[in-house]
């Protein structure tokens, strides 16, 4: 590791926001030295609580994240916010930037806000998001909030990253609840019916409770369903209290933490193997030959891939 990189890590660990932002950019863009950074900071991770905030578009997730952050700061907690946005098909960067709606909290003492792109990752979260969580953890954040894109059931990847997942719904979304029930409805530790001052909030709570009653998942009946009006700050204190209760119960489940680490290792392994295969095939003229054979219908792609895998295994 270079002296410049060591100094940057030391500055970050001493509280430099500038160094933190620079390291996050390096890690997100996979710049030279990012892997050394991750290895160096890992011993200082594992202390922050990670909370996922997901739900359909229009549920008020950004406003809820904003007021939730204010409540956490009021309780003397340091907060990191990762807003996961859709990727630009051209640059690969986050389309929504740093989100105008989060401008207020981004200037608050003890808060660091960062927008990140999904970069086409299945499940809505890229591997870089997990790495940035570790950097914020090493920086000393007590709570890290991940607000996902909110595109329906594809957002289930957040459960593999967060200690607790909050699914946000709104009144009058009966059809949407049906549409997403096979995905994100099943990963919630807490349900939040936001915009509860609207007509139909009680019906939304009833719909969610009915779905939980029909679920075969252990503990579904005990999942809290809370009502909030994020624009007015109503119900936020109760929400934070419930979140802490969920986090406390999760800390006692060693098997859950082991499974999450196992899944992360498999994801990293998949990525590393895929990179190795692409590099090796890029230097191999056999791939060009295979492309021509498939195009001419002389061979099928399945047999070719089986042979390629066999050549790597043996």
Q: What is the DSSP string of 119-181?
A: TT-TTS--HHHHHHHHHHHHHT-SEEEEE----SGGGGGGGGT-SEEEEEE-TT-HHHHHHHT
Spatial CB neighbours of 116, under 8 Å, sequence gap ≥ 6: 28, 82, 83, 84, 85, 94, 126, 128, 129, 132
Residue written as token pair 């409770």: 209
pLDDT > 60? residue 131: yes
User: Distance between CA atoms of 218 and 166, rounded to whole angstroms?
Assistant: 18
Using the 3D structure, point to which of 252, 275, 305 is the last residue of a domain. Answer: 252
190: Cα separation from own chain's centroid = 16
What is the rounded average pLDDT for all residues in the chain?
83
CATH of the domain at 226: 3.40.50.300
Asked if 67 and 178 sit in the same domain, the reply is yes
Rounded mean pLDDT, 178-188: 62
- Pair 162, 185 in one domain: yes
Looking at per-residue pLDDT, the higher value among 312 and 150 belongs to 312
Q: How many helices (H) and strands (E) does the chain have?
A: 12, 7
| Same domain for 72 and 37 | no
Same domain, 172 and 305: no
- 171 and 230 assigned to the same domain: yes
Q: For residue 303, give its domain range.
A: 260-313
Q: Are residue 33 and residue 95 in the same domain, yes or no?
A: no
Q: Over 80: is that where the pLDDT of 159 sits?
A: no
Predicted local confidence at residue 177, as pLDDT: 56
Domain shared by 8 and 83, yes or no: no
Q: Name the band, by pLDDT with cuts 50, 70 and 90, for residue 285.
A: confident
For the chain, the domain total comes to 3
pTM: 0.84
* pLDDT attached to residue 87: 46
Residue with tokens 């309780």: 75
Least confidently predicted of 91-105, 151-165, 229-243: 91-105
At 154 the pLDDT is: 46
Whether 23 and 142 share a structural domain: no
The answer on pLDDT for 276 being more than 70 is yes
How far the first Cα of the chain sits from its last, in Å, is 35
Is 34 found in the same domain as 93? Answer: no
Q: Are residues 230 and 287 in the same domain?
A: no
Residues 97 and 228 in one domain: yes
How would residue 54 be classed by pLDDT, with cut points 50, 70 and 90? confident
Q: What's the pLDDT score for residue 175?
A: 53
Residue 99 reports pLDDT greater than 60: no
**Domain co-membership, 36 together with 49:** no
- Report which of residues 51 and 257 the model is more confident about: 51
């Amino acid at each position: 590791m270079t002296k410049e990189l060591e100094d940057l890590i030391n500055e970050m660990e001493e509280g430099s926001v500038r160094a933190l932002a620079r390291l996050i950019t390096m890690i997100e863009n996979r710049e030279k030295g990012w892997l050394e950074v991750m290895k160096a900071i890992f011993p200082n991770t594992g202390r922050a609580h990670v909370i996922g905030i997901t739900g359909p578009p229009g549920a008020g997730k950004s406003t809820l994240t904003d007021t939730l952050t204010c409540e956490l700061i009021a309780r003397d907690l340091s907060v990191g916010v990762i807003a996961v946005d859709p990727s630009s098909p051209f640059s690969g960067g986050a389309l929504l930037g740093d989100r105008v709606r989060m401008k207020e909290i981004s200037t608050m003492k003890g808060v660091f806000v960062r927008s990140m792109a999904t970069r086409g990752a299945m499940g809505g979260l890229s591997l870089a998001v997990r790495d940035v969580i570790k950097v914020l953890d090493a920086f000393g954040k007590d709570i890290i909030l991940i607000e996902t894109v909110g595109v329906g059931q594809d957002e289930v990847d957040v459960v593999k990253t967060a200690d607790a997942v909050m699914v946000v719904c709104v009144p009058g979304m009966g059809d949407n609840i049906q549409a997403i029930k096979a995905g994100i409805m099943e990963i919630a530790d807490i349900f939040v019916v936001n915009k509860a001052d609207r007509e139909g909030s009680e019906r939304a709570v009833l719909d969610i409770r009915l779905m939980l009653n029909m679920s075969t998942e252990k503990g579904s009946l005990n999942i809290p369903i809370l009502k909030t009006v994020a624009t007015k700050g109503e119900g936020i204190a109760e929400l934070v209290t419930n979140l802490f209760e969920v986090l406390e119960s999760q800390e006692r489940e060693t098997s859950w933490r082991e499974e999450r680490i196992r899944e992360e290792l498999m994801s990293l392994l998949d990525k590393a193997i895929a990179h190795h295969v692409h590099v090796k095939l890029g230097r191999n003229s056999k791939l060009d030959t295979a492309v021509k054979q498939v195009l001419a219908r002389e061979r099928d792609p399945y047999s070719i891939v089986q042979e390629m895998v066999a050549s790597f295994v043996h």
